[in-house]
């Protein structure tokens, strides 16, 4: 599945490839894809479109930051991390 993130004027984020919205508040939204977890921070954040059948999530508000991490499915096991 293709994943695409677009940011428009630091006010609107559109994420194609979303599989789950883990949490959403007015200051932080956590969206999961198959490979990554995307954390959107800011103020007055609101999910304006949620279409998980088509893997699309839109968030609007004052965006201050984006953080990307590997999803839990992609993280190496604890033993692999300890014995690198």
Q: What is the pLDDT of residue 2?
A: 87
CATH number of 4-82: 2.60.40.2000
Please tell me whether residue 82 adopts helix, strand or coil conformation. Answer: helix
Angle, CA of 14, 23 and 48, to the nearest 5°: 35
The stretches in the chain having pLDDT less than 50 are none
Task: Give yes or no for a contact between 21 and 33, defined as CB atoms under 8 angstroms apart.
Answer: no
Rounded to two decimals, the pTM is 0.82
């Amino acid at each position: 599945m293709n994943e695409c993130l677009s940011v428009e004027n630091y006010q609107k984020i559109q994420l194609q490839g979303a599989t789950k919205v883990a949490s959403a508040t007015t200051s932080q939204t956590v969206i999961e894809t198959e490979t990554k977890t995307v954390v959107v921070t800011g103020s007055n954040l609101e999910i304006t479109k949620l279409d998980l059948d088509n893997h699309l999530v839109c968030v609007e508000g004052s965006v201050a930051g984006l953080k990307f991490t590997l999803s839990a499915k992609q993280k190496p096991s604890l033993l692999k991390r300890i014995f690198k």
